[in-house]
Amino acid sequence: MNSQLIYHILIDRFFPSGSEDKNGNFKGGTIRGIISHLDYIRELGMTGIMLTPFSHSAAYHGYHTVDLDEVDPHFGTWDDVGRLVAEVHSRRMTIVADFVANHCHSDSPIYKDGNHRDWFRRDTKGKVMTFAGIDCLPMFDTDNPQVRRYLTDKALRLCSAGFDAIRLDHATGPTYGFWKYLRREIKRRYPDVVLIGEVWGAMDFRPRYRLRYAVNRLLYGAQEARQLEYVNVLDGLLDFRYHELIIDAIHKKESLTKKGRLYGKIKRHFKRYPADFGLWLFLDNHDLNRIFFECGFDETAMDNAIAFTEQWDKTVLWFYGTEKRLANTKSIFDGTPYADERVRMSLTNN
């Protein structure tokens, strides 16, 4: 999947219909709405799309999963998903799903029925552990064989639906053993499906080899060291280290050319990974400041950052609305609750 341009869509905020539901903060974006805009996306030069999770969820963004068997009714149905996959492929484009294996929402029947107590991680006092300390997001025990089979079956359904790749949300939560199991089972039946992990920050991260991690952290920094732990575990990663490097260069107003310091840093960064390990590049996403904001609302600087990123033989993600220069006006990292809403605005025809 090298040299692809993938348009990253937050389903609920992509050309919403205007039908809002305050419960869960849904604004009205749907799978059918994406289908009706596929030609728009292709005309931008995109060769594929990546969706946020569409399973039944307690929140608009899809990461508070209630039921992995159901498509959230705010977004559509499995028939809509099938049609979207077919329409994308008919345009010779790629489609990527987003899969949450780390946790579910407390409204999930699996959590509520009381029959799956051993499916969830517990601390030394027997209390259920939760994602990011959020009480309503219990974390799966991915070393439990039943949990492994359950989650793998749900990922296999995405493969059978025709998705070409799967983004693995919060890959530092589940164990390495789980990811190896899931990858092995998927490759047995769908060898061409690509598994790309989100490995970002220290939360829930546990190195496979502590000495190697310590040396890599000393040599290259913490984010690079974390990413290197997933070589031979997954097919590739969203390259947060690349994002760190280029945002730092933008802030320092370094040259984004082949003669600049950044170019050499990036080349050395890429060489630390096997040639067949996918590093998917991006300038922003739903958890980061938008690139136009990071560039100080300088259109030339933003265009240069995009051109610099697209020169590499890598898959590149475009966050929806980048083409319209959507941007937050305040950083989402100022400690304000729900500040990420600042980068998750609705894309409309206006």
- Alpha-carbon distances of 254 from 259, 301, 327, rounded to whole Å: 11, 10, 22
CA 174 to chain centre: 15
**By C-alpha distance, which of 291, 215, 305, 209 is closest to 254?**
305
What letters, b where the CB count within 10 A reaches 16 and e where it falls short, cover 202-221? eebbebeeeeebeebbeebe
**Candidates 12, 72, 164, 198; catalytic one:** 198
Task: Tell me how far apart the alpha carbons of residues 140 and 135 are, in angstroms, rounded to a whole number.
Answer: 14
Q: What is the DSSP string of 280-307?
A: EEES--TTS--HHHHTTT-HHHHHHHHH
Determine whether 21 is an active site residue: no
DSSP letter at 347 equals B
Distance between CA atoms of residues 263 and 259, nearest Å? 7
β 278-282/194-197 pair status: unpaired
Do 227 and 198 form a contact (C-beta atoms < 8 A)?
A: no
User: Which tokens belong to 185?
Assistant: 């089972």
How many CB atoms within 10 Å of residue 281? 19
* Catalytic option among 169, 224, 235, 239: 169
323 is catalytic: no
> Within 10 A of 120 (CB to CB), how many other CB atoms are there?
19
What angle do helix axes 176-189 and 145-160 make, rounded to 10 degrees?
Answer: 40
Catalytic residues: 169, 198
